Structures are given as structure tokens and as C-alpha cells.
Amino acid sequence: MDYFKPEGSRLICLLCAHYCRLKEGQIGRCGVNQNVQGVIKNLVYAHPAALHVDPVEKKPLYHFLPGTRALSLGTIGCNFKCPFCQNWSLSQEKTLRVKETVSPAQIVEAALKYECASIAYTYNEPSIFYPYAKEIALLAHDHGIKNIFVTNGFESSEVIEDMKGVIDALNVDLKSFERDYYKNVLGGSLDVVLENLKQFKEKGFWVEVTTLVIPTCNDSDAELFAIASFIAQALGARTPWHISAFHPDYHELSLPATSVQTLERAQRLGHQAGLKHVYVGNAGLENPTRCVTCNAILIERKRFDVSKNILVGGCCPTCQTKLEGVFDE
Ligand code: SF4
């Protein structure tokens, strides 16, 4: 795809749904794409700011190659401005301090060296460094390694179209169900995120959804039920929903951490909305995956480790119901 297109004396960046119109020398809202002499230069290309080997469960993805490792990388910058960002030191950084260059081939070499089944583009919003992610991803596929986007779901329609055959799975944040909150507080658009979630599903990507539950911001019964209902109805009742606990961070230091009671309430609401797989993250709770037909425990986890996986060809060994997701055959 073309990552930008001209409009008069400006260039329109096509990487995310902000579609920044950039004059010569201007940098977009994400802080990492700049109009430089007639092209948009991705300033973080080959400059990861974080690179770790994580369990894929930490992304979180629970129905995608469980028990495997994901080489996880992120850069600086973000196209949102969430005041509660739990990764703000990367996402809200606008100054490129990491001058070391890491080529796509070197990233894939690292993934092979550490026996990673996938590469996750995560920590900050990956659509803003899609040109780098895509080159890595295509090379990774050549080596049988899959690719994961951990994203706020604000991709442009052009990027989503281009991601087909490049990215295999996504964990998409659905941070709220309030239009004003998305627009004024997060700097995005609820409608775009909801539409993109449907597009990801329709186009055949494996999708799991995460909601960071923040006291007083999005933890009412009505809002949590609305989020869960959207997932169940628009994406399917078997779409995994990860409920994640907030801790005070960045500009949101006055709110308390999310209580276990609130997380369990959210889980109940998810089930009431019809979701079959609702997981409570980062709270030390057990998160088994059960068969939707016979209720047998198929996958058990201890924090981010898979302690038991009895799937056979992605199916329940008792009743042969297929578990939705991507599993080793
Ligand atoms: S990635 Fe998004 S925020 Fe950044 S310059 Fe492009 S359109 Fe603007």
C-alpha cells in the first residue's frame, strides 16, 4: 500500500484514522511520522524502544498458540493520549533517544533464536509504525513465525486492508463505550474502533478484546454490559474478552486501583451479555478456558504460564467441540 498521498501542498498520512494532513517538516499527532521533502518518513523505523520475549498470554492472547513465546517490540509514540496509559513512558515519548538500528531481519533472527512462535507489535500503538512492522511480519512469515498486533483499533481502512496476509491475530482495546470519552479524553473515536473491530473479524483475523476497567471512568454496570454486548453480538459470543485491572499511572494518579470485586462483577456482566470466554487479567485469578459445550477445562493457566492444555487438534477431547482460536494442529 501507499502509506501517504498528496493533497495540494500537504501529504495525508494513511497509517491511522487521524489521516493527518502534514505540511513540509510537520510531524503528525503520533509524534513519529513526518513530512520530509515530499514523503512521509516513519521516524521510528528500525528503532524499537522495547524488545522482550513474553508468553503470548501476556499480550493477552489466550486462544492463539497457547503456551508459546512472542517476541514483543514497540517504539515510542502513540496516536491516542489516554491519561491512564500504563505504558506512557514509551507511548507519550516524542523524542527519539534510541539511535541503535535494528533491521527487520535482525528482529526475525532474534525471534528464531529465542524460539518464538510469533512476533507481537505491542507496548505502544503499532499502526503508527506499520511500515516497520509489515517488513518484519513478511519476513517472519517466511520463517513460519506469526504476527500479532496489540492495538487501540484506530487503524485506517487502508492499513486494515493491507494487514490481510501480514498480521495473523489482534488484541484490540475497547476502552469505553462513550463517544465523548473516546473523543475528548482518549483522542480517538468510538465509532471507528467499533467499525474496525467488525472489519477485523469479517476479514478473518483472530481477534481478542481487552478492556482496562478504570474506577469511575468505565466501570458502571451499564457501560461494561454495553461493551460485552457489542462484542457478543458484533464479533461473536466466543470472542475472548479480557478484563484488565487499572493501577494509578501517568496523569491518572488520584483514582484507586481496580478491585477484584469490580473485575469479578465485570466478568459476571460479560457472561450475562452472552460471552463464553471472559478472562480477568493481572489480578492473580485463575483463568481456565472451558469447553463451550461440555464445560470441561481445556486450558489451565498460572499467571501467564499454561499449566495444562488438553486440546486435541484445537478440539475438546471429551465432546470434540472446536475451541475458536488458532492452535497447533
Ligand atoms: S500515524 Fe496517524 S497520527 Fe501519526 S501521522 Fe499518521 S495519521 Fe497522523
9 CA → ligand 1 middle, Å: 17
Counting from 1 in the atom list of ligand 1, the atom nearest the Cα of 27 is: 5
Q: Which residue has the higher pLDDT, 18 or 99?
A: 18
pLDDT exceeds cutoff 90 at 176 = yes
For residue 9, the one-letter residue type is: S
307 CA → ligand 1 middle, Å: 41
Residues 181 and 87 in one domain: yes
Which of 10, 11, 16 maximizes ligand 1 atoms within 8 Å of its Cβ, making it the mutation to test the pocket?
A: 16
Residues 63 and 212 in one domain: yes
248 prior amide bond cis, ω within 30: no
Please state, in angstroms and as integers, the Cα–Cα distance from residue 115 to each residue in 1, 78, 142, 166, 305, following that order: 31, 29, 15, 20, 16
Q: Express each pLDDT in 204-255 by its tens digit.
A: 999 999 999 999 999 999 999 999 999 999 999 999 999 999 887 767 678 8
Q: Which cell is 178 given?
A: 462513550
Residue with CA closest to ligand 1 atom 6: 13
Counting from 1 in the atom list of ligand 1, the atom nearest the Cα of 128 is: 1
Residues 269 and 162 in one domain: yes
Residues 34 and 143 in one domain: no
Q: Express each pLDDT in 265-317 by its tens digit.
A: 999 999 999 999 999 987 777 789 999 999 999 999 988 899 999 999 999 99
CATH number at residue 132: 3.20.20.70
> 190 near 178, Cβ under 8 Å?
yes
Burial call 296-305: b when 16+ CB within 10 Å, e when fewer: eebbebeebe
- Number of domains, the chain: 3
CA 73 from centroid of its chain's CA atoms = 12
Residues 265 and 314 in one domain: no
**What residue numbers bound the domain in which 58 lies?**
50-287
Q: Express each pLDDT in 39-58 by its tens digit.
A: 999 999 999 999 999 999 99
> 249 near 84, Cβ under 8 Å?
yes
How much of the chain is in helix, strand and coil states, percent to nearest 5?
25, 25, 45
Q: How many CB atoms lie within 10 A of CB 109?
A: 14
Q: How many CB atoms lie within 10 A of CB 293?
A: 13
Residues 148 and 175 in one domain: yes
14 CA → ligand 1 middle, Å: 7
Residues 17 and 77 in one domain: no
> 207 near 231, Cβ under 8 Å?
no
50 CA → ligand 1 middle, Å: 21
**DSSP string of 183-226, one letter each residue:** IIIISS-HHHHHHHHHHHHHTT-EEEEEEEE-TTTT-SHHHHHH
232 CA → ligand 1 middle, Å: 30
Residues 8 and 119 in one domain: no
Counting from 1 in the atom list of ligand 1, the atom nearest the Cα of 22 is: 5
This prediction has a pTM of 0.96
Residues 192 and 140 in one domain: yes
- Crossing angle between the packed helical segments 130-142 and 104-113, to the nearest 10 degrees: 50
Residues 198 and 272 in one domain: yes
Q: Express each pLDDT in 7-24 by its tens digit.
A: 999 999 999 999 999 999
